[in-house]
A and B are shown apart, each in its own frame.
Chain A
Amino acid sequence: MAEFNSKDTAAFKGVWVFCEQREGVIMSISYQLLSEGRKLANDLGVELCGVVLGSQVKEDYLKALGGYGADKVYYCDSPLLKDYTTDGYTKVLCDLIEDKKPEIFLIGATNLGRDLGPRCAARLHTGLTADCTHLDVDVAKYKEFLKTTSTIDVDNTAFEENTNLKMTRPAFGGHLMATIICPRFRPQMSTVRPGVMQTQPYDEAGAAKTVVEKVAVKLDKSDIGVEILEIKKAAKKMVDLIGADVVVSVGRGISKDPEKGLAMAQDLANALGGVLGCSRAVVDAGWLEADHQVGQTGKTVHPRIYVALGISGAIQHKAGMQDSECIIAVNKNADAPIFECASYGIVGDIFKVTPMLTEAIKAVKASK
């Protein structure tokens, strides 16, 4: 193997997606990233590869990655890779990257992906951009993206022509979006939160065509510095925000009486057949657990109805909900940024408006 040099950008080719598995099952974020990676690979005219690390992962699951766009699947099998360890996964992945040299490497920003990504980037000597909300390689497509999502006068602005990965994320405390590039090092690495990218429909022909290549794993128990004593799943059922049809979210506006605020939001969610979400402030205050959080560092949702109660609407929150079909915002501050993306806005006290809204919805539903 030739000496690995992350500065030798011309030596790198292809788009890779880390396809995380837990208990032998591929996580859905992998399909989202493959769908997105497919577009990038098409624009670059290169192969899209999925990379799976695990132990005795079913062949069908590996082939299925082709149904979401992978031309090829690298599968690294070892009993030591059954469950995630930072050291084991970093070593095997970096060995493979140093050998095959992909130009782009995407990782899901799960709790484990956010442990693995930075460790790999530091070892490979390259940049990593966290929690991206949009990816492009083609400048023309990037310009199209800016036309609908920015205030830039795109046609009268100079853009440097290149096929660097353009990684867009909210930045600087949430009042600005930034597009980041990693021009001098490869691979260009990016993490993406679950739910941000859309999964493309499954393609049988793609699954049949994809090639699974089993990679020889060089990993010894002594390479792993952390021992797993136990893995426990929470007894509590997690909120399925991403799949929800209706999300009713609360923000700092409930601080006057958090208990009552949560109860009335839950009532409204029940009336609409939806689930309870929240802004980051609510999680930070300890009123709800993190699995309820909508936003850049929480979940990205696309429900039919999104109700924002007492949420001011920081850009990080908007990043997680602005593509909802119908957004209803209630806030006592008429200048709250949430109204900028709301389909319908009511300026008023959420403690008064919410119960009335719940009753009105119940009445309409009862009359049907």
Chain B
Amino acid sequence: MKCIVCVKQVPDTSGVVAVKEDGTMDRSKMPTITNHDDLAAVEAALELKDATGCEVVVVSMGPPPAEGMLRELLAMGADRAVLISGREFGGSDTYATSQIIAGAIHKIGVEPDDIVLCGRQAIDGDTAQVGPQIAEKLHLPQVSYAAEIKVEGNSVTVKRLLEDGYMMLKVNTPCLITCVKELNQPRYMSVPGIFECYQKPLEIFDYEALKDEPLIDPDTIGLKGSPTNVYKSFSPPVKGAGMMLEGADKATVDQLVGILDGKHLI
């Protein structure tokens, strides 16, 4: 049995966001982190490894520096890593991305007792689309929004979150599960893990390595091949119609409440 975990390196938007002149995010100036939901997926796989001794393979698509993140995941306890990286893959939308990742997972090989784990969504795009799209391409049953996972033999029970409650679902392996960060508390890298992580195998899948995969159609990957394209991008106008009040004391607050009262808002 093995767990294949899909992870994405994302800009850390919790701190200061660097912006280029054209309004786009300047990723090169921002620290990167492993996407939170994806870390929960890694932890779920490592817990399964603790319990069953299964192999954990971490897979990421991104530019070469994403190797650093994969080494960290190896230091947490993953057994091997695959980095999907190539110019041809750049600019892919979710359809193209999931097709490429599905091709890579197919190349790694999905056995009958395997589980593919993903994060529910990445904080830079928030689409939550790539996980289900990988599942469809691999013809695997999927469960998204997993907040609890129990594995017994080839049967997996998942607590799937709804807006106002949850569903308990049962699915057989092989399957794909997308995890929410509430699932667990990811472990830290261990000191021996950090020493070992550079000895563990890390393979690079570039375009050459994947182009003959049956799941990949070279015409529908990358910026050109992606089904969706940007028609226009724009910055919202600065409204600036508002009124900044002087000070921040009782007089200020009374002034504000006076205005609201005058407008019959309270």
Asked if A pairs with B, the answer is yes
- Seen from chain A, the residues whose Cβ lies within 8 Å of a Cβ on chain B are 83, 86-87, 90, 110-112, 114-115, 117-119, 121-123, 125-131, 146, 148-152, 159-160, 164, 166, 171-185, 225-234, 238, 272, 281, 284, 291, 296-297, 304-305, 314-316, 318, 325-328, 330, 339-349, 352-353, 356-357, 360-361, 363-365
Which of B128, B157, B232, B263 contacts A229 (CB under 8 A)? Answer: B157
Q: Are B260 and A234 in contact, CB atoms less than 8 angstroms apart?
A: no
Q: Is the CB of A229 within 8 A of B170?
A: yes
- The answer to whether B228 and A181 touch across the interface, beta carbons within 8 angstroms, is yes
CA gap between A272 and B266 in the complex, in Å: 7
29 interchain pairs (CB within 8 A)?
A87-B141, A118-B98, A119-B135, A130-B126, A151-B237, A166-B231, A172-B25, A173-B17, A174-B13, A175-B19, A176-B23, A176-B24, A177-B235, A181-B229, A183-B229, A225-B171, A226-B169, A226-B171, A227-B169, A229-B169, A231-B165, A291-B163, A328-B256, A340-B238, A345-B245, A346-B256, A348-B247, A360-B257, A361-B266
* Residue from B126, B171, B229 whose CB has the most chain A CB atoms within 10 Å: B126
Give Cα A183 to B224, complex, Å: 12
Q: Does B191 contact A (CB under 8 A)?
A: no
- A-B contact sample (12 more), CB < 8 A, given A122-B95, A128-B95: A118-B136, A123-B136, A129-B228, A159-B232, A176-B235, A179-B234, A180-B228, A305-B266, A343-B241, A344-B243, A346-B256, A360-B250
Contact in complex: A225, B175 (CB < 8 Å): yes
**With an 8 A cutoff between CB atoms, is B248 at the interface?**
yes
Residue of B nearest to A128 (CB): B129
| CB contact list, B207-252 vs A, under 8 A | 220, 226-245, 247-250, 252
Q: Which of A115, A121, A181 has the most CB of B within 10 A?
A: A115
In the assembled complex, the Cα of A184 lies from the Cα of B220 at a distance in Å of 11
Docked CA distance A146–B234 (Å): 9
Contacts of A112 in B (CB 8 A): 162
Quick check: B167 and A230 within 8 Å, CB to CB? yes
Per-residue interface assignment for chain B, residues 165 to 200, with 1 indicating a CB less than 8 Å from any chain A CB and 0 otherwise:
111111110010000000000000000000000000
> Nearest Cβ distance between residue A138 and chain B, in whole angstroms?
13
For chain B, residues 124 to 156, give those with C-beta under 8 angstroms from any C-beta of chain A. Answer: 124-133, 135-137, 141-145
Whether, in the assembled complex, B51 has its beta carbon less than 8 Å from a beta carbon of chain A, the answer is: no
Q: How far is the CA of A326 from the CA of B23 in the complex (A)?
A: 27
Other-chain residue from A164, A176, A344 in contact with B256 (beta carbon distance below 8 A): A344
Chain B minimum-CB-distance residue to A359: B253
Q: Is B261 an interface residue (CB 8 A)?
A: yes
Alpha-carbon separation in the docked complex, A171 to B172 (Å): 36
In Å, the complex CA distance between A174 and B235 comes to: 10
Residues of B close to A121: CB separation below 8 A: 95, 129, 133
Q: Are B236 and A149 in contact (CB under 8 A)?
A: yes
In Å, the complex CA distance between A305 and B169 comes to 41
Majority SS at the chain B contact face = mixed
Cβ of B28 under 8 Å from chain A? no
Q: Is the CB of A175 within 8 A of B248?
A: no
Residues in A whose Cβ lies below 8 Å from that of B244: 339, 344-347
Across chains A and B, which 9 residue pairs bring their CB atoms closest together, nearest first? A348-B248, A225-B141, A127-B227, A173-B25, A127-B228, A122-B136, A150-B234, A130-B127, A118-B129
Which one of B172, B245, B256 has the highest number of Cβ atoms from chain A below 10 Å of its Cβ? Answer: B256
Contacts of B161 in A (CB 8 A): 111
Q: Are A281 and B14 also in contact (CB < 8 A) when A86-B142, A131-B127, A305-B265 are?
A: yes
Please, which residue of chain B has its CB at the minimum distance from the CB of A149? B236
Chain A's nearest CB lies how many Å from the CB of B149? 13
Across-interface contacts of B93 in A (CB, < 8 A)? 127
CA distance A123 to B133 in the complex (A): 8
Flag whether B71 is at the interface (Cβ < 8 A).
no
Min C-beta distance of B108 to chain A, whole Å: 19
Q: In the complex, what distance in Å separates the CA atom of A305 from the CA atom of B257? A: 12
Is B77 an interface position by the 8 A CB rule? no
Contact with A along B42-82 (1 / 0, CB 8 A): 00000000000000000000000000000000000000000
Partner of B167, one of A177, A231, A357: A231
A192 to chain B, nearest CB (A): 13
Q: Taking the complex as formed, is B11 at the interface, i.e. its CB lies under 8 A from any CB of chain A?
A: yes
Cβ of B232: which chain A residues have Cβ within 8 Å of it? 146, 152, 159, 178-179
**Docked CA distance A106–B175 (Å):** 27
Q: Which residues of A contact B8 (CB under 8 A)?
A: none
Residues of A within 8 A of B250 (CB): 356, 360
Between A148, A348, A360, the greatest number of chain B beta carbons within 10 A of the residue's beta carbon is seen for: A360
A305 CB to nearest B CB, Å:
6
CA distance A83 to B17 in the complex (A): 42
Find chain A residues with CB under 8 A from B142 CB. 86, 115, 119, 226
Set of chain B residues within 8 Å of A226, measured between Cβ atoms: 141-143, 169-171
Report the bound CA distance from A118 to B136 in whole Å: 9
Chain B 93-142 residues near chain A, CB threshold 8 A? 93-95, 98, 124-133, 135-137, 141-142
- Chain B, Cβ-Cβ closest to A90: B136
Please report the C-alpha to C-alpha distance between residue A184 and residue B219 in the assembled complex, in whole angstroms: 12
Q: How far is the CA of A164 from the CA of B231 in the complex (A)?
A: 10
B266 touches A364 (CB 8 A): yes
B132 with A118: CB separation less than 8 A = yes
Q: What residues of chain B lie closer than 8 Å to A305, measured between beta carbons?
A: 260, 265-266
Distance from A44 Cβ to chain B, minimum over Cβ atoms (Å): 17
Chain A residue nearest to B95 in the complex (CB): A127
Check B2 for interface membership: any CB of A closer than 8 A: no
Q: How far is the CB of A185 from chain B (nearest CB, A)?
A: 5
**A231-B165, A234-B164, A315-B236 known; A130+B129 contact, CB < 8 A:** yes
